[in-house]
Structure 1
Protein backbone atom coordinates (compact mmCIF):
# COMPACT_ATOMS: atom_id res chain seq x y z
CA UNK A 1 0.00 0.00 0.00
CA UNK A 2 1.40 3.38 -0.95
CA UNK A 3 1.45 6.40 1.33
CA UNK A 4 -1.40 8.87 0.92
CA UNK A 5 -0.58 12.13 -0.81
CA UNK A 6 -3.20 14.12 1.12
CA UNK A 7 -2.54 14.54 4.83
CA UNK A 8 -3.76 16.95 7.49
CA UNK A 9 -2.40 19.61 9.81
CA UNK A 10 -4.28 20.98 12.82
CA UNK A 11 -3.64 24.66 13.46
CA UNK A 12 -4.79 27.11 16.12
CA UNK A 13 -6.72 30.18 15.03
CA UNK A 14 -3.62 32.37 15.43
CA UNK A 15 -1.48 29.90 13.46
CA UNK A 16 -4.07 29.76 10.65
CA UNK A 17 -4.28 33.55 10.51
CA UNK A 18 -0.48 33.85 10.24
CA UNK A 19 -0.38 31.02 7.67
CA UNK A 20 -2.93 32.80 5.47
CA UNK A 21 -1.07 36.11 5.82
CA UNK A 22 2.48 34.78 5.31
CA UNK A 23 1.79 31.92 2.90
CA UNK A 24 4.04 29.61 4.91
CA UNK A 25 3.95 27.87 8.26
CA UNK A 26 7.20 27.30 10.13
CA UNK A 27 5.51 25.05 12.69
CA UNK A 28 3.85 25.15 16.08
CA UNK A 29 5.91 25.24 19.27
CA UNK A 30 5.79 21.42 19.36
CA UNK A 31 6.80 21.21 15.69
CA UNK A 32 9.79 23.50 16.18
CA UNK A 33 10.79 21.62 19.33
CA UNK A 34 10.75 18.30 17.45
CA UNK A 35 12.39 19.65 14.28
CA UNK A 36 9.55 18.85 11.86
CA UNK A 37 5.91 19.65 11.17
CA UNK A 38 3.61 16.99 12.57
CA UNK A 39 0.95 15.82 10.11
CA UNK A 40 -1.71 13.10 10.25
CA UNK A 41 -3.47 10.86 7.76
CA UNK A 42 -7.26 11.01 7.60
CA UNK A 43 -7.39 7.87 9.76
CA UNK A 44 -5.10 9.44 12.40
CA UNK A 45 -6.64 12.92 12.48
CA UNK A 46 -9.41 12.46 15.08
CA UNK A 47 -7.07 10.74 17.53
CA UNK A 48 -4.49 13.50 17.02
CA UNK A 49 -7.07 16.20 17.78
CA UNK A 50 -8.41 14.31 20.81
CA UNK A 51 -4.93 13.66 22.22
CA UNK A 52 -3.08 16.89 21.48
CA UNK A 53 -5.80 19.56 21.18
CA UNK A 54 -8.41 18.47 23.74
CA UNK A 55 -10.42 21.38 25.10
CA UNK A 56 -9.06 23.91 22.60
CA UNK A 57 -11.43 26.06 20.59
CA UNK A 58 -10.84 27.89 17.32
CA UNK A 59 -8.90 25.08 15.65
CA UNK A 60 -8.54 24.64 11.89
CA UNK A 61 -7.73 21.65 9.71
CA UNK A 62 -5.66 22.02 6.55
CA UNK A 63 -5.42 19.35 3.85
CA UNK A 64 -1.83 19.24 2.61
CA UNK A 65 -0.73 17.75 -0.72
CA UNK A 66 2.50 15.92 0.10
CA UNK A 67 3.28 15.37 -3.58
CA UNK A 68 4.17 19.08 -3.76
CA UNK A 69 7.21 18.49 -1.50
CA UNK A 70 10.49 16.85 -2.36
CA UNK A 71 10.39 13.27 -1.12
CA UNK A 72 13.46 13.69 1.08
CA UNK A 73 11.61 16.41 3.05
CA UNK A 74 8.71 14.08 3.94
CA UNK A 75 9.41 11.18 6.26
CA UNK A 76 7.00 8.55 7.52
CA UNK A 77 8.13 7.86 11.06
CA UNK A 78 6.88 5.62 13.80
CA UNK A 79 5.03 7.33 16.61
CA UNK A 80 1.88 6.73 18.65
CA UNK A 81 1.25 3.00 18.98
CA UNK A 82 3.75 2.11 16.26
CA UNK A 83 1.79 3.97 13.58
CA UNK A 84 3.69 5.72 10.80
CA UNK A 85 3.01 9.45 10.76
CA UNK A 86 3.96 11.92 8.04
CA UNK A 87 6.53 14.49 9.15
CA UNK A 88 7.50 17.49 7.03
CA UNK A 89 11.09 18.68 7.39
CA UNK A 90 10.62 22.12 5.85
CA UNK A 91 8.07 24.94 6.15
CA UNK A 92 4.56 24.14 5.00
CA UNK A 93 3.46 26.35 2.10
CA UNK A 94 -0.09 27.63 1.68
CA UNK A 95 0.07 26.82 -2.03
CA UNK A 96 0.31 23.10 -1.11
CA UNK A 97 -2.92 23.22 0.91
CA UNK A 98 -5.86 21.94 -1.13
CA UNK A 99 -8.53 22.95 1.41
CA UNK A 100 -8.87 24.19 4.96
CA UNK A 101 -11.69 24.97 7.33
CA UNK A 102 -12.52 25.45 10.98
CA UNK A 103 -12.43 22.12 12.78
CA UNK A 104 -15.86 20.48 12.82
CA UNK A 105 -16.97 17.02 13.80
CA UNK A 106 -19.25 14.53 12.13
CA UNK A 107 -22.21 13.02 14.00
CA UNK A 108 -20.02 10.07 15.06
CA UNK A 109 -17.43 12.41 16.64
CA UNK A 110 -14.79 12.06 13.94
CA UNK A 111 -13.16 15.21 12.60
CA UNK A 112 -14.74 16.38 9.35
CA UNK A 113 -12.20 16.68 6.56
CA UNK A 114 -12.01 20.05 4.79
CA UNK A 115 -13.15 20.02 1.16
CA UNK A 116 -12.08 22.38 -1.59
CA UNK A 117 -14.85 24.77 -2.39
Structure 2
Protein backbone atom coordinates (compact mmCIF):
# COMPACT_ATOMS: atom_id res chain seq x y z
CA UNK A 1 0.00 0.00 0.00
CA UNK A 2 0.94 3.68 0.02
CA UNK A 3 3.83 5.04 2.13
CA UNK A 4 1.99 8.25 2.96
CA UNK A 5 -1.68 8.97 3.55
CA UNK A 6 -3.46 12.32 3.70
CA UNK A 7 -6.30 14.01 5.47
CA UNK A 8 -7.65 17.55 5.41
CA UNK A 9 -8.51 19.11 8.72
CA UNK A 10 -9.80 22.51 9.74
CA UNK A 11 -7.41 25.02 11.28
CA UNK A 12 -9.04 24.89 14.73
CA UNK A 13 -8.90 21.08 14.77
CA UNK A 14 -5.22 21.16 13.76
CA UNK A 15 -4.40 23.59 16.56
CA UNK A 16 -6.28 21.36 19.04
CA UNK A 17 -4.32 18.33 17.80
CA UNK A 18 -1.03 20.18 18.27
CA UNK A 19 -2.00 21.01 21.85
CA UNK A 20 -3.23 17.47 22.61
CA UNK A 21 -0.39 15.59 20.87
CA UNK A 22 -2.83 13.70 18.64
CA UNK A 23 -5.67 14.31 16.20
CA UNK A 24 -8.93 12.75 17.36
CA UNK A 25 -10.94 13.46 14.25
CA UNK A 26 -13.71 15.63 12.90
CA UNK A 27 -17.38 15.22 13.76
CA UNK A 28 -17.68 13.05 10.62
CA UNK A 29 -14.79 10.88 11.80
CA UNK A 30 -16.31 10.46 15.25
CA UNK A 31 -19.69 9.61 13.70
CA UNK A 32 -18.13 6.95 11.46
CA UNK A 33 -15.80 5.51 14.13
CA UNK A 34 -12.53 6.11 12.25
CA UNK A 35 -10.38 8.88 10.80
CA UNK A 36 -10.85 9.32 7.05
CA UNK A 37 -7.69 9.45 4.95
CA UNK A 38 -6.88 9.40 1.23
CA UNK A 39 -3.93 8.38 -0.85
CA UNK A 40 -2.17 11.10 -2.85
CA UNK A 41 -4.12 10.08 -5.96
CA UNK A 42 -7.46 10.20 -4.08
CA UNK A 43 -6.95 13.49 -2.24
CA UNK A 44 -8.14 15.97 -4.89
CA UNK A 45 -11.40 14.10 -5.50
CA UNK A 46 -12.00 13.70 -1.76
CA UNK A 47 -11.41 17.42 -1.20
CA UNK A 48 -13.78 18.34 -4.03
CA UNK A 49 -16.49 16.01 -2.72
CA UNK A 50 -16.25 16.61 1.04
CA UNK A 51 -14.51 19.98 1.51
CA UNK A 52 -15.51 22.02 -1.56
CA UNK A 53 -14.85 25.71 -0.99
CA UNK A 54 -13.59 25.24 2.58
CA UNK A 55 -10.72 27.68 3.05
CA UNK A 56 -9.35 26.97 6.54
CA UNK A 57 -7.86 23.53 5.85
CA UNK A 58 -4.54 21.91 6.56
CA UNK A 59 -3.21 18.97 4.55
CA UNK A 60 -1.82 16.39 6.93
CA UNK A 61 0.61 13.85 5.51
CA UNK A 62 1.10 10.82 7.73
CA UNK A 63 3.50 7.90 7.52
CA UNK A 64 1.26 4.86 6.95
CA UNK A 65 3.78 2.39 8.41
CA UNK A 66 3.82 4.31 11.72
CA UNK A 67 0.11 3.62 12.30
CA UNK A 68 0.27 -0.15 12.74
CA UNK A 69 -2.78 -2.36 12.80
CA UNK A 70 -5.14 0.54 13.52
CA UNK A 71 -4.85 1.51 9.83
CA UNK A 72 -7.27 -0.43 7.59
CA UNK A 73 -7.69 -0.22 3.81
CA UNK A 74 -11.41 -0.31 3.04
CA UNK A 75 -13.87 0.64 0.30
CA UNK A 76 -15.76 3.92 0.57
CA UNK A 77 -19.13 3.75 2.28
CA UNK A 78 -21.64 2.14 -0.05
CA UNK A 79 -18.91 1.54 -2.64
CA UNK A 80 -19.53 5.08 -3.92
CA UNK A 81 -15.92 5.57 -5.07
CA UNK A 82 -13.50 3.06 -6.59
CA UNK A 83 -10.46 1.77 -4.75
CA UNK A 84 -9.60 1.26 -1.12
CA UNK A 85 -9.29 4.16 1.29
CA UNK A 86 -7.10 4.32 4.40
CA UNK A 87 -9.16 4.48 7.60
CA UNK A 88 -7.49 4.91 10.99
CA UNK A 89 -9.26 3.31 13.95
CA UNK A 90 -7.30 5.29 16.56
CA UNK A 91 -6.23 8.88 17.14
CA UNK A 92 -3.48 10.10 14.83
CA UNK A 93 -0.33 10.71 16.91
CA UNK A 94 1.64 13.80 15.94
CA UNK A 95 4.76 11.61 15.76
CA UNK A 96 3.28 9.87 12.67
CA UNK A 97 2.82 13.16 10.80
CA UNK A 98 5.48 13.89 8.22
CA UNK A 99 4.20 17.37 7.41
CA UNK A 100 1.23 19.67 7.86
CA UNK A 101 0.68 22.52 5.42
CA UNK A 102 -2.13 25.02 4.93
CA UNK A 103 -4.23 24.51 1.81
CA UNK A 104 -5.43 27.63 0.05
CA UNK A 105 -8.10 28.12 -2.58
CA UNK A 106 -7.64 29.43 -6.10
CA UNK A 107 -9.89 32.14 -7.60
CA UNK A 108 -12.44 29.49 -8.62
CA UNK A 109 -12.58 28.01 -5.10
CA UNK A 110 -10.56 24.85 -5.86
CA UNK A 111 -7.96 23.68 -3.36
CA UNK A 112 -4.32 24.25 -4.24
CA UNK A 113 -2.14 21.26 -3.37
CA UNK A 114 1.62 20.72 -3.53
CA UNK A 115 2.86 19.50 -6.95
CA UNK A 116 3.34 15.91 -5.77
CA UNK A 117 -0.43 15.53 -5.27
CA UNK A 118 -1.65 14.40 -8.71
Q: TM-score, normalised by structure 2?
A: 0.84
Q: What's the offset of the Cα at 1:81?
A: 1.9
Q: Distance in 1 between matches of 2:53 and 2:82?
A: 25
Partner of 2:24: 26
Partner of 1:76: 73
Cα gap change, 1:114 to 1:60, in 2 (>3 Å): farther
**SS state of the match for residue 56, structure 1?**
coil
Q: Superposition RMSD on alpha carbons, in Å?
A: 2.0
Aligned 1:29-48 pairs, distance under 5 A: 29-48=27-46
Indicate the structure with greater strand content. 2
Per-residue CA distance 1:58-111 (angstroms, 9 max, x = gap): 1100100011122x21111011423200000000011110011101469xx674
Q: How many residues align?
A: 110
Q: Does 1:112 align with 2:113?
A: yes
Alpha-carbon separation, structure 2, partners of 1:19 and 1:114: 26
Structure 1 residue aligned with 2:86: 86
Unaligned runs of 5+ residues in structure 2 are none
Partner of 2:72, secondary structure, is: strand
Between the aligned partners of 2:7 and 2:115, the Cα distance in structure 1 is 11
After TM superposition, the score normalised by the length of structure 1 is 0.85
- In structure 1, stretches of 5+ residues that fail to align are none
| 33-42 vs 13-22, which moves further | 13-22
| Cross-structure match for 1:102 | 102
